[in-house]
């Protein structure tokens, strides 16, 4: 019996998310797997990597829940998970009454914090542009975060971002990071400015947004059309 989580590895907390999983019965492996007809009951759940009770979830293999074709071993459904780091669990009984349990070790990180879209900017050698990062606490309680800003070329002013921040429920913080391109930079050079956010209470809840600045020889400016 093989269980594989097929959904996104990062999900928003307390919001409906579509997920998929495969539960495959391998034939021809006596003692290691059973024919599909021998699986009498099957349940899915999510367990915290820190332990505790399993939260049961409903996944279907009927072709009507984003799961592909009915009976193909791909299960789908919509879940509304709380914040935390989870693993998908399948358990049940075989026809002979014996119990089975399978766990996919891939962590599912359910985040309260939402990143705004990262920027892709063009810049001339010798100029300065600004990469902006927006963080929103979508949880119902204040959230403390550790922040780490890195610069692949050393062009970003990393001191513009604090080492930590606390966001109230629904609060958004925007960090503006100047990126100064040296005069000798060559066209095509890339600066990757990455902001990593770590939940102060759970280091497994982390995510990174990367803004990319590309050195160009000229900038294209689009002017509005004027009708007469």
Helix (H, G, I), strand (E, B) or coil at 146: strand
The model's pLDDT over 63-72, given as tens digits with 9 standing for 90+, comes to 999 998 898 8
CB 126 within 8 Å of CB 204: no
As a whole-number percent, the residues of the chain with pLDDT over 70 amount to: 91
CA 223 to mean position of chain CA atoms: 37
More confident residue, 168 or 206: 168
Domain 113-216, what fold? Immunoglobulin-like (2.60.40)
Strands 84-94 and 108-111: antiparallel
Alpha-carbon distance of 213 to 144, in angstroms, equals: 29
Domain boundaries, the chain: 2-111, 113-216
The model's pLDDT over 44-99, given as tens digits with 9 standing for 90+, comes to 999 998 877 788 999 999 999 999 889 888 999 999 998 888 999 999 998 888 89
Helix (H, G, I), strand (E, B) or coil at 224: coil
Name the pLDDT band for 228 (thresholds 50, 70, 90): low
Q: Can you tell me the mean pLDDT for 189-212?
A: 89
Q: Which pTM does this prediction carry?
A: 0.66
Nearest to 90 by CA among 33, 38, 41: 41
Alpha-carbon distance of 32 to 71, in angstroms, equals: 22
Alpha-carbon distance of 128 to 221, in angstroms, equals: 17
Q: CATH assignment of 2-111, given 1.20.1260.10, 2.60.40.10, 1.10.3720.10, 3.30.9.10? A: 2.60.40.10
Q: Tell me whether the CATH fold assigned to 2-111 matches the one assigned to 113-216.
A: yes
Measured from the Cβ of residue 210, the count of other Cβ atoms closer than 10 Å reads: 16
* Residue 94, phi then psi, degrees to nearest 5: -90, 170
| pLDDT score, position 33 | 43
């Amino acid at each position: 019996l093989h269980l594989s989580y097929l959904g996104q590895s990062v999900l928003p907390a307390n919001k409906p998310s579509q997920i998929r999983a495969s539960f495959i019965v391998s034939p021809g492996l006596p003692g290691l797997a059973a024919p599909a007809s021998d699986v009498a009951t099957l349940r899915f759940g999510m367990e915290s990597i820190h332990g505790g009770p399993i939260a049961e979830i409903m996944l279907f293999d009927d072709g009507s829940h984003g799961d592909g074709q009915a009976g193909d071993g791909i299960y789908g459904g919509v879940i509304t998970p709380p914040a935390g780091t989870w693993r998908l669990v399948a358990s049940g009984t075989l026809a002979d009454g014996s119990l089975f349990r399978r766990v996919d070790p891939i962590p599912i990180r359910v985040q309260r914090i939402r990143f705004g879209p990262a920027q892709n900017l063009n810049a001339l050698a010798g100029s300065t542009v600004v990469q902006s990062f927006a963080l929103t606490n979508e949880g119902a309680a204040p959230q403390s975060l550790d922040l780490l800003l890195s610069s692949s070329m050393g062009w970003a002013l990393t001191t513009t971002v604090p080492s930590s921040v606390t966001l109230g429920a629904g609060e958004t913080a925007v960090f503006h990071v100047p990126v100064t391109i040296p005069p000798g930079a060559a066209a095509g050079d890339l600066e990757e400015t990455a902001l990593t956010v770590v939940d102060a209470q759970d280091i497994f809840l982390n995510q990174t947004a990367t803004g990319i600045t590309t050195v160009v020889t000229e900038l294209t400016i689009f002017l509005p059309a004027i009708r007469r």
